[in-house]
């Protein structure tokens, strides 16, 4: 009899599922050359490639259309990135040259050139290129699939748990689009902040990542996948005792889900009547039905960069005004809407604007730095926001602010934008609240100075964690060090809250952490009652908040701030929740 095996990993979406394994051992990119063409077949092969290229573009557009309004635009940014690769003249030209010069079949040429690019990105010592490496693998596989009009036989996956080295984001979208229900995913590659993790969360698929040498295990037929905070593991060949335990755990988990649904329409307040505001993070358009169902108090972070990334040139004032107004009007006039100005650079690039190569672009020209160096682009955006804010509770937030002079310069340009609108006889919001993202250590240490010149702070926990811990959040080699619950991160947040309180300024959290149960308890213990998160986290957050006592939470604040490591922090928070 085989022995039960428990394998730990990191989770992307919480859940408990049991079921049959679908083992996917196929390699995505293969360097092997198996077919050489006759001269007369070369042109025909180039035509086959061109048709596959068009089919690949069409299938991506179909995906975008099918998910429009059903998923947050931010979760679909991957489609835009892949369209850019398919339109890349150098990539396309290299494949055609390989067919012509090396007499390769189109499939082999695509594999060969894609592998060349993958190796190139792998060798660049810049963390943002890890995602580009994955994107080009994904695109290469899509083209090959369209060449022989045969994708993976995913129908066999229906109702099973996928075990694989890696599955690409658009593959997952394809599977979902075909109506194939994946019970769960167990994979070797990928971190908690990867595109795949974000997508798995949006599609609500229990996903376990970081299982090293995944095919070295004897997977058998049935497994238990537990992606809850407490366990985060996969169990191979569970014994009868474990099966029984998980029957009970699953029953409790389902009861919790029902409780979340029941609390959906109730006020977001603690047991002792403390009101907490839950906002939604928005990247593109927002479905009105989502607003009605989730009932967010407004938008805590309206990312504007996707509008720029989807365009073929910098969007003009009218274009931006129309987009911002369309989103703002989905809420009532009193709802708070925070619009963040353009935040490009590092892992967010524009297809029509070539930025300089930098050794570490995460520390380079990005966020407010880009806007201040490109003032015409910045003023155009500010004018569009001011117009959309007319007669509404809209606020402006600057990203990646490092020092007070940046804030002052940005505010001068804001005044210039107002003057231009006044001269043009356009309606705009004259008195508008201004805030900054708390993302870098310098602004944490100078929070008391900034608190005297801004109306609010919004803490971006993703970048704040990255910069405080000097750990790239996209890297797989140091992913274990990227931990939002490190006491240094929590102490920084508490420090900012104290400075804000001193001057009566509001603090909200808009990073990924805001939707996590443990973090909600930690933030409330610090007195932070404004949280902005992805839509899929709002109902669970509301249900949790309704089970907490706000006054009693204050008791654990000091315990958290005296912790020596994140393990201690998590133990305190998990114990409190349970």
Positions marked catalytic: 195, 510
Mark out the alpha helices in 105-194 (DSSP H runs).
106-123, 129-147, 169-177
Diameter of the chain measured on Cα atoms: 83
Using CB atoms within 10 A of its CB, is residue 28 exposed (0-12), middle (13-18) or buried (19+)? buried
Rounded Cα distance between 72 and 90, Å, is 31
For helices 129-147 and 106-123, the axis angle rounded to 10 degrees is 180
Take residue 159 and report the two structure tokens written for it.
């109702």
Contact yes or no for 236/186 (Cβ under 8 A): no
Beta carbons within 8 Å of 516's beta carbon, 6+ residues apart: 484, 537
CA distance 310 to 316: 13
10 Å Cβ neighbour count for 475?
15
CA distance 538 to 511: 14
Contacts of 339 (CB under 8 A, 6+ apart): 299, 302, 304, 324, 385, 388, 389, 394, 395, 396, 397
Report the first-to-last Cα separation within the chain, whole angstroms: 36
Q: How far apart are CA 79 and CA 173, in angstroms?
A: 10
In three state form, how does the secondary structure of 262-328 look? HCCCCCCECCCCCECEEEEEECCCCCHHHHHHHCCCEEEEECCHHHHHHCCCCCCHHHHHHHHHHHH
Q: Which residue(s) pair with 162 in the sheet?
A: 22, 185
For 431-481, give the secondary structure using H, E and C.
CCCEEEEECCHHHHHCHHHHHCCCCEEEECHHHHHHHHCCCCCCCCCCHHH
Please name the residue that has the structure tokens 């930025």.
355
Angle, in degrees to the nearest 10, between helices 566-577 and 487-502: 70
Using CB atoms within 10 Å of the CB of residue 58, give its burial: 0 to 12 exposed, 13 to 18 middle, 19+ buried: exposed
Element (DSSP H or E) covering residue 427: none
- Give the Cα separation of 183 and 317 in Å (integer): 45
């Amino acid at each position: 009899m085989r022995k039960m095996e428990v394998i730990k990993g990191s989770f992307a979406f919480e859940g408990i599922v049991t079921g049959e394994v679908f083992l996917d051992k196929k390699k995505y990119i293969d360097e092997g050359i198996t077919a050489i063409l006759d001269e007369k077949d070369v042109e025909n092969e180039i035509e086959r490639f061109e048709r596959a290229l068009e089919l690949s573009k069409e299938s991506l557009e179909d995906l975008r259309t099918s998910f429009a309004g059903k998923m947050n635009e931010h979760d679909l940014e991957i489609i835009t990135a892949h369209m850019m690769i398919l339109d890349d003249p150098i990539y396309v030209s290299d494949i055609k040259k390989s067919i012509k010069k090396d007499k390769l079949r189109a499939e082999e040429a695509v594999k060969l050139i894609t592998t060349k690019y993958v190796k190139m990105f792998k060798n660049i010592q810049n963390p943002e290129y890890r995602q580009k490496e994955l994107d080009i693998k994904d695109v290469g596989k899509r083209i090959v699939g369209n060449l022989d009009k045969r994708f993976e036989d995913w129908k066999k996956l229906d109702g099973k748990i996928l075990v694989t080295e890696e599955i690409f984001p658009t593959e997952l979208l394809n599977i979902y689009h075909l109506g194939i229900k994946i019970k769960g995913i167990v994979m070797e590659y990928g971190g908690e902040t990867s595109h795949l993790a974000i997508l798995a969360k949006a599609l609500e698929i229990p996903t376990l990542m970081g299982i090293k040498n995944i095919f070295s295990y004897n997977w058998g037929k049935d497994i238990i996948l537990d992606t809850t905070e407490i366990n985060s593991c996969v169990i191979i060949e569970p014994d009868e005792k474990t099966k029984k335990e998980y029957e009970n755990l699953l029953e409790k988990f389902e009861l919790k889900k029902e409780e979340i649904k029941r609390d959906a329409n109730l006020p977001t307040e603690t047991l002792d009547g403390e009101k907490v505001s839950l906002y939604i993070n928005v990247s593109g358009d927002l479905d009105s039905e989502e607003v009605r169902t989730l009932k967010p108090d407004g938008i805590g972070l309206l990312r504007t960069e996707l509008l720029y990334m989807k365009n073929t040139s910098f969007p003009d004032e009218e274009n931006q005004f129309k987009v911002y107004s369309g989103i703002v009007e989905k809420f009532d006039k009193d709802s708070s809407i925070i619009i963040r100005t353009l935040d490009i650079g590092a892992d967010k690039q524009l297809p029509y604007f070539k930025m300089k190569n930098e050794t570490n672009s995460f520390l380079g020209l990005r966020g407010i730095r880009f806007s201040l160096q490109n003032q015409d682009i910045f003023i155009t955006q500010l004018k569009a926001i001011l117009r959309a804010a007319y007669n509404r509770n809209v606020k402006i937030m600057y990203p990646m602010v490092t020092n007070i002079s940046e804030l002052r310069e940005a505010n001068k340009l804001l005044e210039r934008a107002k003057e231009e609108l006044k001269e043009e006889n356009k309606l705009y919001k004259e008195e508008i609240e201004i805030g900054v993202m708390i993302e870098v250590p310098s602004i944490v240490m100078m929070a008391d100075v900034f608190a005297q010149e801004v109306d609010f702070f919004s803490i971006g926990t993703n970048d704040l964690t990255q910069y405080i811990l000097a750990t790239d959040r996209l890297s797989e080699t140091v992913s274990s060090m990227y931990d939002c619950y490190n006491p240094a991160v929590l102490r920084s947040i508490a420090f900012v809250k104290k400075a804000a309180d001193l001057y009566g300024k509001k603090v909200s959290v808009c990073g990924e952490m805001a939707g996590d149960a443990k973090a909600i308890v930690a933030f409330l213990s610090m007195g932070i009652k404004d949280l902005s998160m992805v839509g899929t986290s709002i109902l669970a957050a509301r249900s949790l908040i309704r089970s907490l006592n706000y006054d009693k939470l204050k008791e654990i604040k000091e315990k958290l701030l005296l912790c020596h490591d994140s393990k201690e922090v998590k133990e305190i928070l998990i114990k409190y929740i349970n």
